[in-house]
Amino acid sequence: MSEEDRRRWNTRYREPQEAREPSAFLRSLADLLPVTGRALDVAGGTGREALWLARRGLDVTLLDISEVALERASEDARAAGVGLRTQSLDVEVEPLPPGPFDVVLCLNFLWRPLFARFPQVLAPGGLLVFAQPTRSNLQRHAHPSARFLLEDGELPRLVQGLTCVSYTEAWTGEGRHEARLVAARA
C-alpha cells in the first residue's frame, strides 16, 4: 500500500465509529476455532475480530497499516482486560510475522499474493479463515469497487497448500455477496 493509503486509513479511523459486533461469519465458527494457541488477524483494522479471539483465550497479533486503528485496538483491549499484540505492517511489501499460528484471519482485505504466504505461517492443523465480497456484490452495492472484489468462484483456486474445511459463496444475512472459506494446514 502507498503512504497515501496509510493516511487515508488513519483519517478514516480517527472519525468516531459505532461499536460493532465481530463478524457473524467468525462468530459462526466458534465451535471450530481453538481457544488456546496463537492467532494472526491480517489487516484487522481496529481489532473487533482480534479482540473476540483474545477473549476466547488466544494469544492474538493484530496487523494493520493504520497506526490509528492499532492504537484504538490497544485501548479497547486494555479496557476489556485482554492481551493483544499490534503491529503496523504493510502486508503488500513486508513479510508476515513468523508463525506458527493456530488461526490466521483475513476478513475484508484482498491481496492475492498473501495466499502463498498463509501456509508458511500456519501451524500444522492451523486454520485460515478468509472472507471477501465477490464481483456479484456490485449487483446491490457500489462499494467495494471491482478492484477489491474476488471474481465469482475465484477463492478456492487461490488457496494453495491447504485443505478446504468449508467454503460458501452467496448473499449473506448482512446483504453482501461474499466468498467465505476455512482451510486447514495438514
The number of residues making up the chain comes to: 186
Q: Would you call the peptide bond into 113 cis, given omega within 30 degrees of 0 as the criterion?
A: no
Strands 122-133, 177-184: pairing is antiparallel
- Beta-bridge mates of residue 150: 134
For each of the domains in the chain, give its residue range(s) and CATH number, in order of start: 3-13+22-184 (3.40.50.150)
What is the pLDDT, as a whole number, of residue 8? 74
Q: What is the pLDDT of residue 1?
A: 60
Angle between helices 67-80 and 48-55 (to 10 degrees): 30
Q: Which run of H or E residues covers position 112? A: none
Give the whole-angstrom CA distance, residue 162 versus residue 172.
Answer: 25
**Mean pLDDT, each 10-residue run in order, the chain (186 residues):** 70 72 95 97 96 98 94 95 95 94 97 96 98 95 90 95 96 95 96
